[in-house]
């Protein structure tokens, strides 16, 4: 029979989780995640989004619950890259695919666009954008082809750094992804585990944008579910070689390491979510992303709470997350300001 777990102990581990929510309003399940488990963040999807006013109300309610429960605001994130990956549709700015911007816009224009996107996200209460993509795709066969700025590492880095500056200026935390780069793959990690095809064990082309982003102080980096045989026999998300040796030691990244969704096929085909989260934390990840399965969220927290050997690693991750969350500005603008903004005349790039 499983021994009961002290609620405070459970919530210690809950702060390391970023989770999806079931609907467009805060309900009993969402309250339990925020108030009782004290998760560190939530991620919004189309199922959570109806209108700018509704998103503002959802974020407001989530933050009220979080601050009352833990004294810290939540990380509220969204995938708002552009092109095929943007959860917030018109009247929010409709962002062209990164590849189109890399061809037809200047870095200065991308920075300005990203600033305006960041301003919109911040306006409705979202404080983290899971963007930009730093991958360097080699060919159109790569699933990241349209989501990445360029196949030239230096050009990709210039545009990604411009986006990072823009999002930050707009009031949201940018997240560079997907380390250590999916550009030399031809398989989709949503379905299967991609294998790095580059013969360069140093991955110089793939790592250049991450190296420069780390030097520029990007606050967070998302992992790739990618097998790099020259580094490890585990996917990068679960690999201490990838996260601690390469990202932390060699690239000198000091911010928060966020996993990609642990329910994706590349990982779920190998491990259940709770075990994958345990392995990712042990490898060096700080924030563990579980996008859909709420039962798996609770299972993960319970499993981690029983792993005394991970306590020191978890405290290190919790400190990084606390420092990031303390940088969230509350309260957000009021609902009147939201309504006024979205009544404005259409801008360039607005659908």
pLDDT tens digits, one per residue of 240-278: 999 999 999 999 999 999 999 999 999 999 999 999 999
27 is catalytic: no
User: Where do the domains of the chain lie, and which CATH numbers do they carry?
Assistant: 18-339 (3.20.20.300)
pLDDT tens digits, one per residue of 181-237: 999 999 999 999 999 999 899 999 999 999 999 999 999 999 999 999 999 999 999
List, in sequence order, every beta strand (DSSP E) within the chain: 17-20, 41-44, 75-78, 80-82, 85-86, 128-129, 173-179, 220-223, 256-258, 288-290
d(CA 19, CA 41): 6
Categorize the per-residue pLDDT at 348 as very low, low, confident or very high, splitting at 50, 70 and 90.
Answer: low
Q: What is the pLDDT of residue 2?
A: 44
Nearest to 134 by CA among 164, 169, 112: 164
- Marked catalytic residue, from 27, 152, 190, 200: 190
Categorize the per-residue pLDDT at 346 as very low, low, confident or very high, splitting at 50, 70 and 90.
Answer: low
Give the 3-state secondary structure of residue 206.
helix
pLDDT tens digits, one per residue of 57-72: 999 999 999 999 999 9
Q: What is the pLDDT of residue 1?
A: 31
pTM: 0.96
pLDDT score of 3 more than 60? no
146 is catalytic: no
Query: Which whole number is the average pLDDT over 8-27?
Result: 95
Categorize the per-residue pLDDT at 350 as very low, low, confident or very high, splitting at 50, 70 and 90.
Answer: low
Q: Taking the alpha carbons of 338, 108, 130, 183 in that order, is the dihedral positive or negative? A: positive
Average pLDDT, the chain: 95
- Marked catalytic residue, from 260, 261, 274, 286: 260
Categorize the per-residue pLDDT at 7 as very low, low, confident or very high, splitting at 50, 70 and 90.
Answer: confident
Q: What is the pLDDT of residue 349?
A: 61
Which strands form 220-223's sheet, in the order they lie side by side? Answer: 256-258, 220-223, 173-179, 128-129, 75-78, 41-44, 17-20, 288-290
Categorize the per-residue pLDDT at 25 as very low, low, confident or very high, splitting at 50, 70 and 90.
Answer: very high
Cβ burial of 28 (10 Å; 0-12, 13-18, 19+) is: exposed
């Amino acid at each position: 029979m499983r021994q009961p777990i002290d609620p405070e102990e459970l919530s210690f581990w809950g702060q390391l989780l970023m989770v999806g929510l079931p609907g467009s309003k805060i309900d009993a399940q969402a309250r339990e995640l925020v108030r009782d488990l004290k998760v560190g963040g939530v991620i919004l999807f189309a199922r959570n989004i109806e209108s700018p006013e509704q998103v503002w109300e959802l974020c407001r309610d989530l933050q009220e619950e979080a601050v009352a429960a833990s004294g810290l605001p939540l990380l509220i994130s969204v995938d708002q890259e552009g092109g095929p990956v943007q959860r917030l549709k018109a009247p929010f700015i409709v962002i062209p695919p990164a590849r189109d911007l890399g061809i037809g816009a200047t870095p200065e224009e991308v920075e300005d666009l990203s600033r305006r996107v960041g301003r919109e996200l911040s306006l409705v209460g979202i404080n983290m954008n899971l963007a930009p993509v730093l991958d360097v795709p080699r060919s159109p066969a790569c699933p990241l082809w349209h989501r990445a700025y360029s196949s030239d590492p230096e050009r990709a880095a210039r545009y990604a750094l411009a986006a990072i500056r823009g999002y930050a200026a707009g009031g949201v935390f940018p997240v560079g992804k997907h380390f250590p780069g999916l550009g030399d793959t031809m398989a989709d990690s949503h379905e299967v585990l991609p294998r790095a095809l580059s013969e360069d064990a140093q991955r110089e082309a793939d790592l250049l944008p991450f190296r420069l982003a780390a030097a520029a102080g990007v606050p967070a980096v998302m992992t790739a579910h990618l097998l790099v045989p020259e580094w490890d026999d585990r996917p990068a998300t679960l690999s201490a070689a990838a996260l601690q040796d390469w990202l932390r030691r060699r690239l000198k990244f000091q911010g928060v390491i966020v996993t990609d969704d642990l329910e994706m096929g590349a990982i779920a085909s190998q491990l259940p979510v709770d075990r994958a989260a345990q392995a990712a934390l042990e490898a060096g990840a700080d924030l563990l992303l579980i996008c859909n399965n709420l039962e798996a969220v609770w299972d993960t927290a319970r499993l981690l709470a029983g792993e005394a050997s991970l306590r020191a690693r978890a405290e290190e991750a919790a400190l990084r997350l606390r420092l990031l969350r303390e940088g969230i500005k509350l309260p957000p603008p009021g609902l009147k300001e939201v309504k006024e903004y979205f009544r404005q005349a259409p801008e360039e790039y607005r659908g």
